[in-house]
Chains A and B, each alone.
Chain A
Amino acid sequence: MTVPSIEDLLRELTPQVLGVLVRRHGQFEGCEDAVQEAVLAATVQWPTEGVPNHPRSWLLTVASRRFIDQLRSDHARRVRELATATEVIPEDVPDTDDTLVLLFLCCHPTLTAASQTALTLRAVGGLTTAEIARAFLVPEATMAARISRAKQRIKAAGSSFSLPDGAEREERLAVVLQVLYLIFNEGYTASSGSELHRADLAREAIRLVRMVHGQLPEDSEVTGLLALMLLTHARREARTTAAGDLIPLDEQDRTKWDRELIDEGLELAKASLAGPALGPYQLQAAIAATHADAVTAEETNWQQVHALYLILERIAPNPMVTLNRAIALAETKGPAAGLALLSRLDRDERMAGHHRLLSVRAHLLEKSGDQAGAYEHYRRAAKSTASLAEQRYLELRASQLKA
């Protein structure tokens, strides 16, 4: 077995093994540490000694031993818990639900988004603290502290290891999806810095959403989120030049889009829309699907894009949605209509001076023939962004206007 497939196997087994341990002992914090140690041991041993016949049992046994060692060193708990800890763990424990329960636990609402993402990547994604630290460009000690704090918070919240019911389940699932979307976006566009593609995080997010989709195939929002990620990820090769400069959607070489991902994404987007209610991920997936359907930028069905943004604006009002609708409106009714919609956003505190508002206005002013206004707004947008790639792009647009 090759090294990458050992890695894949470990990533798949980590949440299953952790789920079994937490279900038995109910101590997320200690179990998580024990599983991490078992995974590390496997990473060292399996490539040289070969993958055991029953890798999941192997991990369970090693993790259980580590957990017992921890208990032994903790004298107060020893008497209370050693008896159950040393029992042999049956291999046929169902693992399907556990991974989902773990995910809900890691995306606990009392945690900050940064902690939710870190903990999810470690406990459910099976990444090491060092890998997560690298992905988010922080020192390992910083990430270790963050994860450890997150585990303490979960412990303090006294969460039980079970799936929440009814309305709470809906709310918690929304948080889970948001966290997974955040991980994807972190990989797709770094919020700051020069590196635009941190593809590993995007791929990891897709893998995790696939897993959730596998367990909740009937949930339209999960399906919608998976479709959205696939359709977005399909464009990654066309999104930047070899030098790392941004290429906007209308100038991308669409033959570079990943056809396989698009086909799967389109299929899922369609399936998600067949559900009973419309959610924000389904609508965003439908918008991405409309773009994916157009062989050239000119063939884009902007009427449909605009209609979808209008519905999205109604069910999930957000200035960013209005901003995107203004672009679609400008394509169907002309730049003046788009600019009129933007003026509504000027009064929104969240958007005042935001680089996205400035750059969209620059784009629409350019379309309307106001070169000086467009130049001014591209320059202001370039100053306001925290992304180097975006800044380079906006400065380029400004300099092209001056020429």
Chain B
Amino acid sequence: MKFLISMHINPAVLDALTDEEKEAIGAGHGAFIEALKESGELITTQALVDPSQAAVVAIRNGQPVVTDGPFLEAKEYLGGFYLIDCENKDRAIELALQIPDAAIEGLGLEVRQVMFADGLLEA
């Protein structure tokens, strides 16, 4: 079963961390990725640039309208994701709990099953 673990980042929370804490998060993600690769559960993981770099696009009255992002006005934004293929939802949750963000107040992790896929996974 395929699941997307999305990571919801709060810049204020991240900024308040010490350098050591930030490093530990980076190392934690690195170890997590290695473990997922070895177990054959990782499909892909990607991290996104800062939301200040986002462009919000729309068509209004037949004309393209492009404004600087982000689309959602929230404290948290989508920072990145893990796309995994594992046994069941319990396992997906177990894996998500190993992500360093899980232990930090103010950072959000969400686990949702994939319903449709095309492209990358067509191999």
Which A residues are closer than 8 A to B by beta carbons?
Answer: 112-115, 130, 133-134, 136-149, 191-194, 386-388, 391
Contacts and interface: CB of A to CB of B under 8 A. Distances in A.
Question: Helix, strand, loop or mixed for chain A's interface?
Answer: helix
Contact of B39 (A140, A149, A388): A149
Contacts of B121: 137-139
Contact of B115 (A139, A140, A143, A193): A193
Contact of B87 (A112, A140, A143, A386): A112
B115 A114 contact: no
A136 B85 contact: yes
A149 B40 contact: yes
Contacts, number: 68
Contact of B117 (A115, A147, A191, A193): A193
Nearest to B40: A146
Interface residues of B, number: 22
Nearest to B91: A112
A316 to B, nearest CB: 20
A142 B42 contact: yes
B59 interface: no
Question: Helix, strand, loop or mixed for chain B's interface?
Answer: mixed
Given A112-B87, A114-B86, A140-B123, A192 B39 contact: no
A147 B116 CA distance: 25
Given A137-B123, A142-B43, 5 more contacts: A114-B86, A142-B40, A142-B85, A147-B40, A192-B1
Contacts of B87: 112-114
Interface string B18-45: 0000000000000000000111111110
Given A137-B122, A139-B121, A192 B2 contact: yes
Contacts of A387: 115
A145 B113 contact: no
Contacts of B41: 142, 146
16 contacts: A113-B87, A114-B40, A114-B86, A115-B40, A138-B123, A140-B123, A141-B37, A142-B42, A142-B43, A145-B38, A192-B115, A192-B116, A193-B116, A193-B117, A386-B115, A391-B115
A144 B43 contact: no
B44 A143 contact: no
